[in-house]
Structure 1
Amino acid sequence: MTTPATPVPRFDTFYRHDELTRLLFDYADAHPGLVSVASIGKSYEGRDIWVATVTNTATGPDTDKPAFWADGNIHAAELTASTAVLYYLHQLVTGFGSDDQVTHLLDTRVVYLCPRLNPDGAELALGDKPRHIRSSTRRYPYDEDHVEGLTVEDIDGDGRVLFMRIPDPHGGYKKCDRDARLMVPRRPGEFGGEYYRLMPEGSLTNYDGLTIQVNKDPEGLDLNRNFPAFWRQEFEQAGAGDYPTSEPEVKAMVDFVLAHPNIGAAISYHTHSGVILRPMGTQSDDDMIPEDLWSIKRFSALGTELTGYPAVSIWHDFKYHPKETIGGTQDWLYEHLGALFWVVELWGPNKAAGITDYKWIDWYRDHPVEDDLKLLKWSDEQCRGDAHPDWRPFMHPQLGAVEIGGWDKMNYWRNPPPQLREREVARFPAWMNQIALSLPKLELLRTEVRALGPDTWRIRFAVGNAGWLPAAVTKRALARKVVRGVIFEIHLPTHHPEVALIGGKPRVEGPHLEGHAPKASLQAFLPNREVTGDRAVVEWVVRAPKGTRLALTAQAERAGVVRTEVRLD
């Protein structure tokens, strides 16, 4: 029977759910010893949430190996996040056997990939008449229609949601005197000009001819505020849900991660800003465990080196409002479990336009008109004008004569244009490989059997951590007591009274193993006295006939499992 060929996906295309499903199973069919695909749960509307498990099963099952997790598209319209995960899957599959780094990675570790955590919201964004909500399609906090106000939607049927402008002497915007297509804010104290009122494209219900309020989406959930760590109610954090993991998509991820304690590091892909975000989201660097902060900064700097994306603190540099704290997020992986974790905000349209000196969130509140002109030039020259369509007349059913145009935020801000998508996501596999290859890896050092008498034996079993990171990965994991030291076990045959353990315990908890990462430079004031902190050994004394075979195992949640056997002779 001929094995199917490796799929050749299009990375300039956003896949609908059925297409994405077929693509994932095509990978599994083409590489059955490398890729398996399973549903980890159902979305609110009943769609499967797929996870691809990628490892060389010939070298052991996935659960015996240290694991790296990557997910994308938890937010509905952030579709490039799904592309980033699919791209990594393709790089792993096509690199295995030809790329030494990828081959060693999949021989010794496992990668869990969830391209789309939120299939319902993505399907809505990809619909024939798209809507760009934040997350899930479940109505929240109330299950009722708006009775008045403006509902944001594609009102003219061109498949885009742009802006509407209406001449109004009290409007807050005006045409830019350097390019009349561009709308810029009216200056403080300015009067006597031609001004406009701007609002999102959409339809109006019960319009009174004077007042317009833009309605919130009835689907008001933010799945990335529904995780257990530092979750807060709706009055403190919009979209948080009824309680932590109340939403099936979030519960599916949390349940999977908890069922796979081998996950030691993770990245969640979002859009947009062109930045790597590191923990924590709820505490300052000063409140973090120093050793963890140093490690996270080390990997973050590596991310900048390999991707070109700057790496910043969520707490210090990426707040939507200076007085707000973002809790209940996927940062739960570090805050509760002590796994290394990053959010990647893919794609920076301002950076693509040549704007280099900007501060992430602050830029969206206010920036010089020169930046808008650079973006408009980028739209004209690189996007055929589609990032900022020209204003065109439209007879609105409630407002009458308006113009529709301006920035296409869905297709050029939240996501890069099709021709730039692969270039953007191609930045990240090398960094993910490096993180995954740094995870702790338990390996057999030696076994020894020594006869103490005709039927009495001393058995020594030694293992070591071959990874750069310690077996616990972080100090926070130790503080949260979510990992144990190395667990050694000797497996005695049942119903064999001539075999007995006479020294030691059948299960022994050993130390937490260090990795081979240096604790300090060679010029440090004090030397590193823990020279072999990456090794552990256990001894047993057994009474058994000569020639008896005994199975031994050693395991650490995040460093994997060692299985071996000794013969007593």
Structure 2
Amino acid sequence: MTATPTPRFDTFYKHDELTRLLFDYAEAFPALVKVASIGRSHEGRDIWVATVTNQDTGAAADKPAFWADGNIHAAELTASTAVLYYLHQLVTGHGHDAAVTRLLDTRAVYLCPRLCPDGAELALAERPRHIRSSTRRWPYDELPVEGLTIEDVDGDGRVLTMRIPDPHGAYKTCPQDPRLMMPREPGEFGGEYYRLLPEGTLKDWNGLTTRVNRDPEGLDLNRNFPSHWRQEFEQVGAGPYPTSEPEVRAMVDFVIAHPNIGAAISFHTHSGVILRPMGTQSDDDMIPEDLWSYKRFSALGEKLTGYPVVSIWHEFKYHPKEVIGGTQDWLYEHLGALFWVVEIWSPNQAADITGYKWIDWFREHPVEDELKLLKWSDEQCGGQAHVDWRPFDHPQLGPVEIGGWDKMNYWRNPPPALREREAARFPAWMTQLALSLPRLELLRTEVRALGPDTWRVRLAVANSGWLPAYVTQRALQRKVVRGVVFEIHLPQDDPAIGLVAGAQRIEGPQLEGHAPKASQIAFLPSREVTADRALAEWIVRAPAGTRVALTARAERAGTVRTQVTLD
């Protein structure tokens, strides 16, 4: 075995470096890690998935599985760091950490560090551009011929804000600290005011009016999933049809081809919050049993990560009248797998700002909050989160000042020294989630002679997981999971061997997990006290000594394989 890779969690890897790192893990831990491409991006880059499991205890496809991905949005690079960090914790913890060892011995973990390699590469360029997702132009294959295009004008590798003195400007300097810009009050006049524009260049400028152009790469890959997808006029960036984009199609195809995936997390930035479904319906419209399960695991997430968990519908809407569809919530909404979005990192929390509403804060907040953030920038970030205003001779506008908040490097992602700390919040929660997944286990086999060449064969299995084999009621509602399927495999081409009773394939019941349905002091105890078990039976005609193979499988609980001898 080669040496364990030593990744840097305070830096972001470009595609070639990320590729080498993943294959270094596969080479260093060949019994635990396999790396494969699940598809190619718009520009032809591989989308890598690392399958992590102890291959000595069975194939990944035969085990219940957990999925985690990151960096579906181009500049949300810490999301990739979080997935890489979990990969490192898994491979170094196996054989040393009891929970990790049991996880990889009994379950599989699929890790996709970067779903949007093209956009990430652009964000990591020497002169970066921070687009939303894919680099494919949408909805038009045209460059703007007028307006302001956001870009790094002064060549310092940052995209900041330009300010210009203007008596009609909407902003003024803050009395407590003139570096800050704060909004004018309603009805206020008689002061010195500024017009703020994103850093960028202007085309066909008339010297008076302009507008900020949208990026020509207008796709949002997290609006291209099948669930509640809507056209551009209703939802910007959704693409021409569901899964039209190769990055999204790669993930969807992989998940559909791996029905053992029972739970998943997608890492994004930023807000310092965990988001739970549903995004398209209120809690009142959710299946109660699923909502209870979400709340149970979410409370565990709050405890282990320090991040609050909120409902997307109730607490994380960009606009109170807007419903966001086409997202990775597809995993729950269509497939009934448990799913969360983690929005890594909150500069607000780092600056000790409390009691704020996640989205509402960006629309309006007290100046005291920005003063706290400015203090945090000065004391913890070397004054780089908020850049001092400096003169610049703009090619179209003439004298301007460039500065303000560096939102991409200190808001969208944490500063380098804090990236590993944020990534380290999540492995314990993910491991406990994955260990709660259903798992099919062999209880016993039984062979009983009914005559000289007639035998009764029984196979009994149980779900040893906390969750039921179907994981959620929504999966049952959507009919995407079957009950446990038993099969008997008899030697072929021997007329003396055959089934007398029982089908070669038997679909048994759905198996519950060991999660209690009610408290111990409930007045009405559960009647289904052994609903985690199932039994299949066959009558076989065959000579004594015949070997018979038996299997039992449940899509999300794994597969049991065994053999019996008729004697």
State the match for 1:246 in structure 2.
244
State the match for 2:42 in structure 1.
44
State the match for 1:235 in structure 2.
233
Q: What letter corresponds to residue 131 of structure 2 in structure 1?
A: I
State the match for 1:223 in structure 2.
221
Q: Which runs of structure 2 are paired with 1:137-216 in the superposition (5 Å)?
A: 137-216=135-214
State the match for 1:302 in structure 2.
300
State the match for 1:7 in structure 2.
5
For the residues of structure 2 that align with 1:523 and 1:490, how far apart are their CA atoms?
A: 42
1:292, distance to aligned residue in structure 2 (A) = 0.4
1:525, distance to aligned residue in structure 2 (A) = 2.8
For the residues of structure 1 that align with 2:182 and 2:338, how far apart are their CA atoms?
A: 42
CA displacement 1:179-223 (0-9 Å, x = unmatched): 000000011110000000001100010110000200000000000
State the match for 2:410 in structure 1.
412
For the residues of structure 2 that align with 1:252 and 1:533, how far apart are their CA atoms?
A: 36
Q: What letter corresponds to residue 479 of structure 1 in structure 2?
A: Q
For the residues of structure 1 that align with 2:544 and 2:312, how far apart are their CA atoms?
A: 61
State the match for 1:94 in structure 2.
92
Q: Matched residue of 1:180: which SS?
A: coil
1:294, distance to aligned residue in structure 2 (A) = 0.3
Out of 15, 19, 22, the residue aligned to residue 21 of structure 1 is 19
Q: Aligned residue pairs: how many?
A: 567
Q: What letter corresponds to residue 461 of structure 2 in structure 1?
A: V
1:522, distance to aligned residue in structure 2 (A) = 1.2
For the residues of structure 1 that align with 2:140 and 2:438, how far apart are their CA atoms?
A: 46
For the residues of structure 1 that align with 2:305 and 2:539, how far apart are their CA atoms?
A: 53
Out of 552, 556, 559, the residue aligned to residue 558 of structure 1 is 556
State the match for 1:488 in structure 2.
486
CA displacement 1:414-462 (0-9 Å, x = unmatched): 0000000000110000000000000000000000100000110001110
Out of 525, 528, 544, the residue aligned to residue 527 of structure 1 is 525
State the match for 1:397 in structure 2.
395
For the residues of structure 2 that align with 1:521 and 1:348, how far apart are their CA atoms?
A: 37
Q: Which runs of structure 2 are paired with 1:55-454 in the superposition (5 Å)?
A: 55-454=53-452
Which of structure 1's runs of 4+ aligned residues deviate more than 3 A? none
1:176, distance to aligned residue in structure 2 (A) = 0.1
Structure 1 unaligned residues grouped into runs of 5+: none
1:523, distance to aligned residue in structure 2 (A) = 2.0
State the match for 1:455 in structure 2.
453
Q: What letter corresponds to residue 287 of structure 2 in structure 1?
A: I
- Normalised TM-score (structure 2): 1.00
Q: Matched residue of 2:388: which SS?
A: coil
Q: What letter corresponds to residue 532 of structure 1 in structure 2?
A: T
- Normalised TM-score (structure 1): 0.99
Q: What letter corresponds to residue 368 of structure 1 in structure 2?
A: P
Identity of aligned residues (%): 80
1:59, distance to aligned residue in structure 2 (A) = 0.4
CA displacement 1:100-128 (0-9 Å, x = unmatched): 10000000000000000000000000001
Provide the alpha-carbon RMSD of the alignment: 0.4
For the residues of structure 2 that align with 1:525 and 1:13, how far apart are their CA atoms?
A: 56
Structure 2 unaligned residues grouped into runs of 5+: none
Q: What letter corresponds to residue 555 of structure 1 in structure 2?
A: R
1:72, distance to aligned residue in structure 2 (A) = 0.2
CA displacement 1:448-486 (0-9 Å, x = unmatched): 100000110001110000000000000000011100000
For the residues of structure 2 that align with 1:524 and 1:160, how far apart are their CA atoms?
A: 60
For the residues of structure 1 that align with 2:93 and 2:494, how far apart are their CA atoms?
A: 49
Q: Matched residue of 2:411: which SS?
A: helix
For the residues of structure 2 that align with 1:196 and 1:312, how far apart are their CA atoms?
A: 37
1:67, distance to aligned residue in structure 2 (A) = 0.3
For the residues of structure 2 that align with 1:497 and 1:201, how far apart are their CA atoms?
A: 81
CA displacement 1:82-139 (0-9 Å, x = unmatched): 0000000000000001001000000000000000000000000000110000000000
State the match for 1:539 in structure 2.
537
1:167, distance to aligned residue in structure 2 (A) = 0.2
